[in-house]
Amino acid sequence: MDCPRCLALMTEETLQGHLGRPLVIDLCYPCQAFWFDSHESLRLSPASTLKLFRLIGERIARSQPSGSGAGRCPRCHTTLRPTVDMQRNTRFEYLRCPDGHGRWTTFYSFLREKDFIRPLSPEQLDRLRQNVQSVDCSNCGAPIDLTRATSCGRCGSPLSMLDMARAEQLVAQLQKADRPDSPVDPSLPSRLAATRRQVHAAFDSFERDDRWRGDVTSAGLVGAGLKSLARWFHSLG
């Protein structure tokens, strides 16, 4: 399948749905986006949701500002419609087929939908400004001048980072849900908490942490957190 926005060939990933039914998800790494056929994102099993988080973390890159066109549905070629939706108190956006064939959503919006992203605190913004003058928006890729703004002038997204506390909670829940008949590793909560502390420690000592600074430069603030989470996934084997 070609990406509805950039027309590059998308990468297929076969995942497990509920009741063991396979799902084929299409990913566009240049656009940092998914195509979900109708209701596919709701049918992902816990293990498949974990796999998507890992894939995002391993392949996250600096977002590139997209063109102005909405693109066309890869199933029926109808022009996709920009859509704003709500998950609890979090707004997220995507492009949907008006005929119900599916939706194109960025990695960033997928993470917002799953409540994985939160704005930086004033203290974190101050520390960030002490070390960098500009960062790329995690949503659209446009540069944000930290001396003048705390949100993206192009798409309006606030400076945000991965909510590792939420990641810790959700991943533990997904691990447990995916193994209902198996004991949960008793070290899982402490290991996730350690990852969260490492992410926050890296942010607090930004100027002394070369890996964190490199991750922010290459993938943005949200991407840096995702890379840390992906390293944790990798450590699980």
Q: With helix as H, strand as E and coil as C, how does 51-80 read?
A: HHHHHHHHHCCCCCCCCCCCCECCCCCCEC
CA dihedral sign, ordered 112, 116, 117, 118? positive
Q: How buried is residue 157: exposed, middle or buried, by Cβ count under 10 Å (0-12/13-18/19+)?
A: buried
CA 102 to chain centre: 19
Long-range contacts of 91-95 (CB under 8 A, 24+ apart): 95/4, 95/5, 95/70, 95/71
Single pTM value for the model: 0.77
Q: What is the mean pLDDT of residues 162-188?
A: 62
Position 60 scores a pLDDT of 79
State the pLDDT at residue 124. Answer: 83
Structural domain boundaries enclosing 97? 11-113
Rounded Cα distance between 55 and 61, Å, is 12
pLDDT of 208 strictly over 60: no
pLDDT at position 216: 78
Local structure of 148: helix, strand or coil: coil
- Whether 76 is in a domain gets the answer yes
SS3 assignment, position 230: helix
Q: Worst-scoring range by mean pLDDT, 96-105, 163-172, 177-186, 194-203?
A: 177-186
Q: Is 39 inside a domain boundary?
A: yes
- Residue 195 pLDDT: 57
Alpha carbons 63 and 146: distance in angstroms, whole number: 18
Query: Would you say residue 172 lies in a domain?
Result: no
pLDDT(175) > 70:
no
Residues in CB range of 213: below 8 A, 6 or more apart = 131, 206, 207
Judge whether 191 lies within some domain.
Answer: no
Query: pLDDT at residue 82 above 90?
Result: yes
Residue 189 or 138, more confident: 138
pLDDT digits (tens, 9 = 90+) for 92-138: 899 999 999 999 999 989 888 888 888 888 888 888 888 778 888 88
Does residue 35 fall inside a structural domain? yes
Q: Is there a domain that residue 58 lies in?
A: yes
Q: What is the mean pLDDT of the chain?
A: 79
In the chain, the number of structural domains is 1
pLDDT tens, 149-173? 989 998 888 888 888 777 666 666 6
pLDDT for 119: 86
pLDDT of residue 207: 46
> Does the residue 185 lie in any domain?
no
Residue 136 contacts residue 142 (beta carbons within 8 Å): yes
Q: Is 229 contained in some domain?
A: no
- Averaged over 64-83, what is the pLDDT? 81
pLDDT band at 75 (very low <50, low <70, confident <90, very high): very high
Q: CB 176: neighbour CB atoms within 10 A?
A: 15
